[in-house]
Amino acid sequence: MESATNDRPQIPLAPAEEPKPRATGAIPIDPEPFWRLPITWFRALTIERRILAGFSLVFVGILVISAVSYRNTSVLIANSGLDTRSHELVQLLSNIDVAMDESENSHRRYLVTGEALYLQAYKTVVEQKPTFFKYLNDLTRGSPEQQQRVGLLNQMMDRQLNAEAGAIAQRDGGGFEAVRKMALEGAAKQELSTIHRIIAEMESYERQALRRRVLESAASTTNTIVLLSIGALLQLVLLASVYYLIRHDITERRRIATELQRRGELLEAANKELEAFSYSVSHDLRAPLRHIGGYASLLRKTVGESLNEKAVRYLQTISDSAKQMGQLIDDLLVFSRMGRQEMLLTSVNLDQLVKTIRYELRLDLQGREISWTINPLPEVPGDPAMLRQVFMNLIANAVKFTSTRPIAKIEVGVNRRTSGEVVIFVRDNGVGFDMQYASKLFGVFQRLHRVDEFEGTGIGLANVRRIVHRHGGRTWAEGMPDKGATFYVALPTRRPRS
């Protein structure tokens, strides 16, 4: 862990930026500025993750805007409810005001005339008062100030009505003269004016509250509009960035696809050329060889009797060389064909395959003493003819390179098996090889033994490697001079993709 250079929390950087361990006391290199970290983080992401990050930001933006809009709209709706209540309250107060005026005036007319008809307004107020106060209490709920005024108003109205009731009783008992003064001035003049004042106060309070709410709603609406505009702009920028990312990626992919196609076409052309070449090798190079061998034979037949031993050997060498070159050409053609031949993909039973190969080799095994150990082998996906050639080569090699042993030992088995591949080995107690030449073993026309020791053109193991590579596998070998050799073939247990 590096020494702490500051108390900022350590945020892991991209692997490339990992600071190297440095000696204590050395001047610490200042880490990247804090604000650059998101950019570094973003650059390290794959295109899919970048797009996901972009869309996530857009989504979070939409959530925030929705939440704020919801809150503002709720305030607007609540305010409009309160406004309705205020208007109703103002209307009710003015009704009460009018009713109390009416009650006082008509009551005075009654005091003067004694006509019972004029008592109607007073009676109505007395009747309606509980209803009025029920509404008043409802409409002022949540506002203690107004409730207090409602209580006061209730008292005053009671006093006015009581005063009026008293005056009516006096008029009924003592006639007009008893209430003459009251009829002229009004029984509850003072109470009525207090009622007018309270009602005016309440109205003014309500109107103020209304004005406040109008201002609040307007501010909230402005906020919402500003927020929506900024949000929309940000979303637009984000979406445009994501679009740019995707577009950039698509363009890049298209360019790569075109490039790949172009290279594919070039490869195909090269392959065609190679095919034409090997065809011509196959056909044209073989004819002169045939003629060399043929005419050498004809010559020997024509002048056979008169030739001395040396001349016979020369002619034989000419024939042998032609034959050998023919073999080399054939091997080379097989090798080149192996590279382009279509692969047939089926399941190959290696047990059966090795059994067949041993049967096919039986003529070569005549006069040899070989101790075979064939362990159980698995089934693998692959081309049967190609895999047959692999194991034919390996087993024929084992037979060939043990020919100097009185008792040859050849073992075939599974070396190890993982989920992805199986490693098969072919081991012999033959002449072996020096590990320092191990890398040459699988090369084309590479031989580790002289031709007069062991025959062969040196193409067998090259074919083995090429076939195994085409199956998606690996080959290697271990050996020691005069101590035998082991050849390993690792084959995938799942089908290769092509």
Partner 1 sequence: MTAAKPILLAEDNPRDAELALAAMEEQHISDKVVLCHDGAEALDYLYCRGQFKSRLKGNPAVVFLDLKMPKVNGLEVLRIIKADTNLRTIPVVMLTSSREERDLAESYALGANAYVVKPVEFHQFLSAVKELSTFWGVINEPPPEGSCSSN
**Interacting residues toward partner 1 by CB under 8 A:** 279, 282-284, 286-287, 289-291, 293-298, 319, 322-323, 326-327, 330, 333, 337
Instruction: State in angstroms the smallest separation of the CB of 444 from partner 1.
Output: 19
Instruction: State in angstroms the smallest separation of the CB of 283 from partner 1.
Output: 5
* Cβ neighbours, 10 Å, residue 247: 10
Question: Between residues 85 and 323, which has the closer beta carbon with respect to partner 1?
Answer: 323
Nearest to 15 by CA among 34, 40, 48, 39: 40
3-state secondary structure of 409: strand
Q: List the structure tokens of 418.
A: 């993982």
Question: Between residues 330 and 478, which has the closer beta carbon with respect to partner 1?
Answer: 330
Instruction: State in angstroms the smallest separation of the CB of 442 from partner 1.
Output: 25
Question: Between residues 48 and 284, which has the closer beta carbon with respect to partner 1?
Answer: 284
Instruction: State in angstroms the smallest separation of the CB of 338 from partner 1.
Output: 12
Question: Between residues 279 and 445, which has the closer beta carbon with respect to partner 1?
Answer: 279
Q: Residue 422 forms beta bridges with which residues?
A: 417, 491
Instruction: State in angstroms the smallest separation of the CB of 383 from partner 1.
Output: 15
Question: Between residues 147 and 321, which has the closer beta carbon with respect to partner 1?
Answer: 321
3-state secondary structure of 13: coil
Question: Between residues 133 and 295, which has the closer beta carbon with respect to partner 1?
Answer: 295
Question: Between residues 109 and 286, which has the closer beta carbon with respect to partner 1?
Answer: 286
CA 454/CA 435 separation, integer angstroms? 19
From residue 415, give the alpha-carbon distance in Å to each of 87, 350, 370, 426: 95, 14, 21, 10
Instruction: State in angstroms the smallest separation of the CB of 303 from partner 1.
Output: 15
Nearest to 190 by CA among 96, 100, 99: 100
* Cβ neighbours, 10 Å, residue 38: 11
Question: Between residues 341 and 403, which has the closer beta carbon with respect to partner 1?
Answer: 341
CA 55/CA 2 separation, integer angstroms? 37
DSSP for 111-179, please give it: HHH--GGGGHHHHHHHHHHHHHHHHHHHHTTT-HHHHHHHHHHHHHHHHHHHHHHHHHHHHHHHHHHHT
User: Tokens 């037949």 appear where?
Assistant: 301
Question: Between residues 241 and 319, which has the closer beta carbon with respect to partner 1?
Answer: 319
Burial class (CB within 10 angstroms; exposed 0-12, middle 13-18, buried 19+) of 111: buried
Instruction: State in angstroms the smallest separation of the CB of 417 from partner 1.
Output: 35
DSSP 432: -
- Pairing of β 379-382 and β 408-417: unpaired
CA 310/CA 319 separation, integer angstroms? 14
Instruction: State in angstroms the smallest separation of the CB of 297 from partner 1.
Output: 4
Instruction: State in angstroms the smallest separation of the CB of 291 from partner 1.
Output: 5
CA 261/CA 255 separation, integer angstroms? 10
Instruction: State in angstroms the smallest separation of the CB of 344 from partner 1.
Output: 13
Instruction: State in angstroms the smallest separation of the CB of 476 from partner 1.
Output: 31
Instruction: State in angstroms the smallest separation of the CB of 332 from partner 1.
Output: 12
From residue 269, give the alpha-carbon distance in Å to each of 19, 263, 313, 335, 431: 49, 10, 47, 20, 44
Residues 6+ apart with CB under 8 A from 1: none
Question: Between residues 271 and 371, which has the closer beta carbon with respect to partner 1?
Answer: 271
CA 105/CA 122 separation, integer angstroms? 9
Question: Between residues 79 and 327, which has the closer beta carbon with respect to partner 1?
Answer: 327
CA 305/CA 25 separation, integer angstroms? 99
Question: Between residues 323 and 449, which has the closer beta carbon with respect to partner 1?
Answer: 323
Instruction: Specify whether the CB–CB gap between 465 and 490 falls below 8 A.
Output: no
DSSP for 254-307, please give it: HHHHHHHHHHHHHHHHHHHHHHHHHHHIIIIIHHHHHHHHHHHHHHHHHHGGG-
Instruction: State in angstroms the smallest separation of the CB of 276 from partner 1.
Output: 11
Question: Between residues 103 and 336, which has the closer beta carbon with respect to partner 1?
Answer: 336
Q: Residue 478 forms beta bridges with which residues?
A: 486
